[in-house]
């Protein structure tokens, strides 16, 4: 309860701070300084902008085992046996985008992530194949099998196979056998020490022709666990070939070939408005034959060749373009489609001109796949892939981070895509990947992008220091800002409270400036935390949501975003502030022109704020971030509203210290809590806890 208000007017600010400490029970850690009381003034009658309906989104790509070993339901690792593909570098001049380039496989290897059971011998076979897309199979020599000694293969999934009680798993695979194999095959889910069998099934009818087999495996009332394996064995001698060995748990909203339920639910709980996909660097790839070639990610999963991604591991592309759309549908998100724009990461690009044209056409076809109806070639293909309704698409991004393209070709490439897309789809808003945080000389000048995508990966201090940067941006520019990747990178594998504080300061900045910042999304979204060492389940050090095979958790940054997203309002109000406290940040000197620069001392603000209105609910929403290690009092003054009800709500995310974090073992150490508060009016003072993010909901009359 806040008892402070009636006494405040007559007091000087320093005495006030002491009094607040006592009355609010927040004596510990309150700075007893003579500093003047910070004040924010909210002008409830001055609306800066309508809150864009695209404010809190998701940015996603295959990194850190985000889909395979993450969101995508598939539990078998290396189900197509192509993880041993040899990386072949194809330069753009030797690459025809219309052609499929089959990967070569190191056939001497036994396939990664598969092991033998009993006396089985396994190898990769590129002669007996299911189809041209999956141009290798697993050859399983079970000649030593007998009634007493079952022989076969096992797969340990992505750092374990999660088994839950009373759950039905769908198993499917393609198989053929050498002549006279009597079968049957037996499949099971077992603990990796072999002591427990959770579910099993028998498969017969494997013949000399490739055939698809399906079975269900249902567990009983067991304890959930993840140190488990999948096994396929036989007691009949022979030779068998396998391909597309798949095990799917129940999926979110029961979507076939769908997504993991806990991760989907975490995302859904944060109400994301859009999904920027498929990257990120994943859209570009290291080389032209490793880009996100959308046409090879559609259709039946056993027809998708898969590809090596720039994050260093194989992707089956079971999670392809249709699945991105299904994800949007399940979470009611708008797709923000990034198209490949003729540039790959290892610094090769195709300059504007006839050689770029096939990629422009490919982008137009991709847009048709997403938005077309049954009368269009690619719309009809999407319907065949299981998505009858065209998707509402408003934003298309041309490439990703093209400031890395040192050839300077982006302006020309952007223009070629822009002209072709606008000619066919004038309603689409097109996003340049070179934002205003980049040098003027490498930005797009020949066309006016509808939006530019700015990326900010920062330390806590850097993020807080830049958290007023948009307040002074030029308002006359017709191009809006999409902050398509941002994160305070403190804490690993997932950010800690310091990360959440930097993020919240930055989100306040974006909210205050929603007249120019049209949309934004944090990145990266996911990290599999199972092996942070040599096995590398993580490629990027600070990610929003962590998980292993069985459990998942949101970082403090996730909760900061969740509460911001839940308290957006629909109008952004004008706010000004005085007397904001600061802290000293000594920034280590960079090296410039080979010369080490001396450290720089910066005074950085330590309180951040924004204010919005929820018109329908008649509420004013105030966000206050106190990044300091001590509680801080602050006054809120509201003009342009007749009255504010005495009672309101405070939602607070706070931690004992800035290193506090969530993890698989302690998933809810830092989570928000809401409470009713009183003592609110058009002028009130409250104390904000150390290291805290507070959202006040005030009932305006
Ligand atoms: O989010 C990780 C990577 O950071 C993205 O793939 C890329 O766009 C950026 O450099």
What is the domain partition of the chain in residue ranges?
Answer: 56-73+252-568, 92-248
CA Rg, the chain, in Å?
28
Q: How far is the CA of 310 from the centre of ligand 1 (A)?
A: 11
* Helices (runs of H) and strands (runs of E) counted in the chain: 11, 40
Check residue 17 and give its pLDDT: 38
Got the DSSP string for 606-666?
Answer: -EEEEEEEETTTTEEEEEEEE-SSS-EEEEEEEES-S-B-S-EEEEEEE-SSTT----SSS
281 Cβ closer than 6 Å to some ligand 1 atom:
yes
Cβ of 57 less than 6 Å from ligand 1: no
Q: Which pTM was predicted?
A: 0.94
Closest ligand 1 atom, residue 487 Cα: 1
Ligand 1, residue 59: give the atom nearest the CA. Answer: 1
Of 482, 488, 540, the residue with max ligand 1 atoms within 8 A of its CB, to mutate for a pocket test, comes to 540
Phi and psi (nearest 5°) for 578?
Answer: -130, 155
How many angstroms is it from 347 CA to the middle of ligand 1? 15
CATH of 92-248, one of 3.30.70.1350, 2.60.120.260, 2.40.40.20, 3.40.50.720: 2.60.120.260
Domains 56-73+252-568 and 92-248 share a fold: no
As assigned by CATH, the class of the 56-73+252-568 domain is alpha beta
24: nearest Cα among 45, 48, 4, 40: 4
- Are the CB atoms for 676 and 623 separated by under 8 Å? no
Tokens describing residue 95: 């690459």
Ligand 1: residue of 59, 60, 61 to mutate (most ligand atoms within 8 A of CB) is 61
What is the widest separation between alpha-carbon atoms in the chain?
97
Report the distance separating Cα 336 and Cα 338, nearest Å.
7
Distance 10 CA to ligand 1 centre (A): 53
pLDDT of residue 184: 97
CA-to-CA distance for 616 and 554, rounded, in angstroms? 30
Measure 467 CA to ligand 1 centroid, in angstroms.
Answer: 21
Low-confidence ranges of the chain (pLDDT < 70): 1-33
Which residue puts its alpha carbon closest to atom 2 of ligand 1?
524
Q: HSE-up of 227 (CA within 13 Å, CB side)?
A: 5
Residue 524 in contact with ligand 1 by CB distance below 6 A? yes
For residue 672, what are its two tokens? Answer: 């928000």
Ligand 1 contact via 61 beta carbon (within 6 Å): yes
The protein residue whose alpha carbon is closest to atom 5 in ligand 1 is 280
523 lines ligand 1 (CB under 6 A): yes
CA 452 from centre of chain: 20
DSSP string, 263-329: HHHHHHHT---EEEES-SHHHH-SSGGGS--GGGG-SSGGG---EE-TTSSEE--SS-HHHHHHHHH
CA distance 255 to 262: 14
Phi, psi of 511 (to 5 degrees): -65, -45
β-pairing, 334-339 vs 274-277, is: parallel
Q: Is 349 in the pocket of ligand 1 (CB under 6 A)?
A: no
The ligand 1 atom at the shortest distance from the C-alpha of residue 540 is 2
Q: How far is the CA of 158 from the centre of ligand 1 (A)?
A: 23
Question: Distance (Å, rounded) from C-alpha 313 to C-alpha 261?
Answer: 24
Here the tokens at position 677 are: 């508060």
400 lines ligand 1 (CB under 6 A): yes
Residue 524 CA, closest ligand 1 atom number: 1
Pocket test for ligand 1, best of 455, 539, 544 (most atoms within 8 A of CB): 455
Measured in Å, residue 247 CA sits from the centre of ligand 1 at 30
Phi and psi for 16 in degrees, rounded to 5?
A: -60, -45
Closest atom of ligand 1 to CA, residue 400 = 8
Any atom of ligand 1 within 6 Å of the Cβ of 362:
no
- Whole-number pLDDT of residue 26: 34
Q: Are 66 and 313 in contact (CB under 8 A)?
A: no
- Could you report how far apart the first and last alpha carbons of the chain are, in Å? 21
Nearest to 247 by CA among 164, 187, 166: 187
């Amino acid at each position: 309860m806040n008892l402070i208000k009636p006494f405040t007017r007559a007091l000087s600010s320093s005495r006030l701070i002491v009094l607040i400490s006592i009355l609010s029970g927040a004596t510990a850690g309150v700075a007893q300084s003579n500093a003047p009381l910070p004040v924010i003034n909210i002008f409830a009658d001055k609306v800066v902008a309508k809150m864009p309906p695209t404010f809190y989104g998701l940015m996603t790509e295959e990194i850190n085992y985000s889909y395979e070993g993450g969101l995508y339901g598939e539990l078998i690792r290396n189900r197509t046996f192509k993880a041993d593909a040899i990386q072949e570098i194809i330069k753009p001049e030797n690459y025809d985008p219309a052609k499929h380039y089959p990967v070569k496989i190191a056939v001497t290897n036994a396939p990664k992530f598969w092991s033998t059971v009993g006396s089985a011998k396994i190898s990769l076979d590129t002669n007996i194949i299911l189809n041209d897309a999956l141009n290798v199979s697993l050859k399983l020599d079970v000649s030593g099998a007998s009634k007493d000694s079952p022989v076969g293969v096992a797969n340990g999934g992505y750092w374990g196979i999660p088994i839950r009680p009373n759950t039905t798993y769908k198993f499917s695979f393609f198989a053929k056998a050498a002549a006279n194999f009597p079968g049957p095959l037996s499949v099971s889910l077992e603990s990796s020490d072999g002591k427990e069998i959770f579910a099993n099934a028998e498969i017969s009818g494997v013949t000399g022709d490739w055939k698809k087999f399906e079975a269900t495996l249902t567990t009983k009332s067991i304890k959930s666990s993840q140190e488990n394996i999948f096994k396929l064995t036989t007691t009949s001698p022979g030779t068998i070939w396998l391909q597309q060995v798949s095990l799917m748990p129940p999926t979110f909203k029961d979507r076939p070939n769908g997504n993991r339920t806990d991760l989907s639910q975490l995302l859904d709980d944060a109400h994301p408005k859009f999904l920027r996909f498929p990257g990120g660097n994943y859209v570009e790839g290291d080389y032209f034959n490793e880009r996100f070639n959308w046409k090879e990610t559609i259709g039946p999963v056993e027809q998708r060749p898969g590809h090596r991604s720039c994050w260093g591991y194989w992707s089956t592309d079971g999670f392809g373009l249709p699945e991105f759309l299904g994800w949007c549908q399940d979470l009611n998100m708008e797709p923000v489609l990034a198209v490949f724009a003729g540039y790959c990461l290892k610094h090769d690009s195709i300059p504007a001109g006839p050689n770029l044209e096939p990629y422009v056409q490919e982008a137009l076809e991709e847009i048709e796949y997403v938005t077309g109806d049954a009368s269009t070639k690619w719309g009809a293909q999407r319907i065949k892939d299981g998505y009858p309704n065209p998707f509402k698409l408003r934003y298309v991004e041309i490439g990703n981070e093209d400031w890395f393209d040192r050839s300077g070709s982006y302006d020309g490439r952007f223009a070629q895509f822009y002209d072709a897309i606008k000619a066919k789809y004038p309603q689409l808003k097109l996003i340049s990947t070179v934002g205003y945080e980049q040098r003027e000389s490498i930005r797009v000048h020949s066309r006016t992008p509808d939006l530019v995508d700015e990326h900010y990966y920062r330390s806590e201090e850097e993020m807080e220091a830049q958290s007023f940067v948009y307040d002074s941006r030029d308002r006359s520019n017709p191009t809006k800002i999409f902050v398509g990747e941002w994160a305070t990178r403190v804490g690993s594998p997932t950010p800690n409270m310091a990360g959440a504080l930097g993020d919240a300061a930055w989100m306040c900045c974006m909210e205050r400036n929603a007249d120019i910042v049209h949309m934004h999304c944090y990145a990266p979204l996911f990290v599999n935390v199972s092996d942070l060492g040599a096995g590398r389940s993580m490629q990027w050090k600070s990610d929003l949501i962590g998980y292993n095979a069985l459990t998942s958790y949101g970082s403090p940054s996730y909760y900061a975003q969740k509460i911001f997203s839940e308290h957006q309002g629909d109008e952004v109000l004008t706010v000004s502030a005085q007397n904001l406290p600061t802290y000293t940040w000594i920034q280590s000197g960079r090296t410039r022109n080979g010369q080490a620069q001396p450290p720089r001392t910066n005074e950085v603000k330590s309180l951040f704020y924004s204010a919005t209105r929820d018109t329908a609910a008649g509420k004013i929403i105030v966000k206050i971030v106190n990044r300091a290690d001590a509680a801080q009092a602050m006054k809120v003054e509201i003009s342009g509203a007749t009255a504010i009800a005495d009672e309101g709500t405070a939602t607070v995310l706070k931690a004992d210290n800035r290193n506090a974090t969530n993890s698989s073992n302690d998933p809810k150490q830092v989570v928000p809590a809401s409470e009713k508060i009183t003592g609110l009016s058009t002028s009130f003072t409250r104390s904000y806890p150390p290291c805290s993010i507070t959202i006040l909901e005030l009932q305006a009359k």
